[in-house]
Amino acid sequence: MTSCKTLPSMFALAVALSASSIGLLSGCKTSGPPAGMRGPQGPLPVQVSTATQQDVPLTGQWVATTDGYVNAQIQPQVSGYLIRQDYKEGGEVHKGQVLFEIDPRPLQAVLDQAKGQLAQAQGQLAQAQAQVELAAINVQRDTPLAQAHAIAQSILDNDLKTKQVAQAAVVSQQAAISSAEAAVEAAELNVGFTKVRSLINGVAGQAALQVGNLVNTSSVLTSVSQLNPIKVYFAISEQEYLALSAQATSRGKTDLLGSGSSISLKLTLSNNQVFPETGHIIFVDRSVSAQTGSIRIAAQFANPGNLLRPGQFGRITAETSVLHNAVLVPQRAVSELQGMNQVIVVGDDNVAHIRTVKLGSQIGSNIVIASGLSGGERVVTEGNDKVKEGMKLAPQPDTTPAAAATAGQNAQGN
């Protein structure tokens, strides 16, 4: 009986000893960071880049269209039938080069008639001059006779009157000759105008009318555009205009129009290639548009080989201001969470700290940190999606091509 009563006590003791062992085993566990505070096999390897601090030029970019530096519509100055086209469409032409010919025969006939009228007027002038000379002889002969009363005074008076009439005829014929000469000159010009010439050097467009068409002074035969240099038009906002003007005056220029080459313009073509030549401003419109709040600007670009043609689209880029002592990091170091921008800063102890930052302008593959980060601090650029606050990291320098290019730019800036 006694041994049977002790069995429950021994069972309770065994249970107590088991619980105690479990407690001892749990108490022997080493302490460590909560789950997620470090990698499964030690510090998490990440790539980092150092935030740089330097002066950063801020640029503006605007949609642009090209246009000929000079665009000339070729129109005839006389009427007639086109009998010849003397240029190659789309080819280069020179000032004074004949582009079209109009039938000159009707105008040549007018010229011949004007020359005949001129010759007739010249003959009549010669007759009038002869009459003046004859009248002068008669007056000279009859004057002493009339004074001596050898002839009647009326004879001398008739001689004087005849002389006056002859002199008036000379004046009239001289005027007729001037008019005839002007008619000849006009007719010669019209005959010359039958050869329609280019007034500028440039590239001629497609012919609007063909040989055999009847043309007049309102007909447009073709257009010629001077392409080297070429104009590029773009519109900027009022604020951008003020910023560019401040740039010009800070460099010793009187205004934006007189900025010359101090404000360098870059042109990016529709295929995203940068045009090799730089441009400068040659025109600033007189007013800001009330509808768009922008002002029209024209730039001039050298255009060797006539690569650029009127009507092309592109983008103009120009430096508008300079941001001093700006903090730059690679753009991929920045992440967005719930509308806030964040970077992961790696401290000297290689511990991660998530920091909220305010962004500025994008500069190539970098971005300006307006606030929240200082130059010289390290930020995670690769693997930041696995990093959490307080995690121990194994940072390695960022070796991607973009990071290498950024490092080179930063070294030049410093």
Class of residue 176 by CB neighbours under 10 A (exposed 0-12, middle 13-18, buried 19+): middle
Higher pLDDT, 220 or 16: 220
- Please list, residue by residue across 208-222, b when 16 or more beta carbons sit within 10 angstroms of its beta carbon and e when fewer do: ebeeeeebeeeeebb
DSSP tag of 327:
E
Burial call 67-102: b when 16+ CB within 10 Å, e when fewer: bbbeebebebebbbebeebebeeeeebeeebebbbb
Q: Are β-strands 393-397 and 214-215 bridged in parallel, bridged antiparallel, or unpaired?
A: unpaired
Residue 132 has what pLDDT? 87
Residue 99 has pLDDT above 90, yes or no: yes
Max CA-CA distance within the chain?
Answer: 208
Report d(CA 386, CA 45) in Å as an integer: 10
17 vs 174, more confident: 174
DSSP letter (8 states) at residue 88: -
Give residue 93's pLDDT band: very low, low, confident or very high (50, 70, 90). Answer: very high
pLDDT at 400 over 80: no
Cα–Cα–Cα angle for 253, 258, 262, rounded to 5 degrees: 60
Q: What is the mean pLDDT of residues 22-46?
A: 54
Residues 309 and 57: beta-carbon distance below 8 Å: no
CB 120 within 8 Å of CB 252:
no
pLDDT of residue 48: 93
Q: What mean pLDDT is predicted for residues 348-354?
A: 92
d(C-alpha 328, C-alpha 406), whole Å: 10
The yes-or-no verdict on residue 35 having pLDDT over 50 is no
Which DSSP symbol is given to 34?
P
Report how far residue 80's alpha carbon sits from residue 157's, in angstroms, rounded to the nearest whole number.
58
Q: Where are the domains of the chain?
A: 44-57+324-413, 104-193
- Of the two residues 65 and 149, the one the predictor is more confident about is 65
pLDDT of residue 40: 53
Q: Give the mean pLDDT of the chain.
A: 85
pLDDT of residue 51: 93
Q: What is the average pLDDT across 175-194?
A: 94
C-alpha dihedral (29, 35, 40, 43), degrees to nearest 10: -100
CATH number corresponding to 44-57+324-413: 2.40.420.20
For the stretch 298-344, pLDDT in tens is 999 999 989 999 999 999 998 888 888 899 999 999 998 888 999 99
pLDDT tens profile 257-301: 877 777 889 999 999 999 999 999 999 999 999 999 999 999 999
- What pTM was estimated for this model as a whole? 0.66
- Peptide bond before 330: cis, by omega within 30 degrees of 0? no
Q: Say which residue, 204 or 24, is predicted with more confidence.
A: 204
CB neighbour class for 123 (10 Å; exposed up to 12, middle 13-18, buried from 19) = exposed
Question: What six digits make up the tokens of 35?
Answer: 């789950």
Cα–Cα dist 270/397, whole Å: 37
* The residue type at 207: A
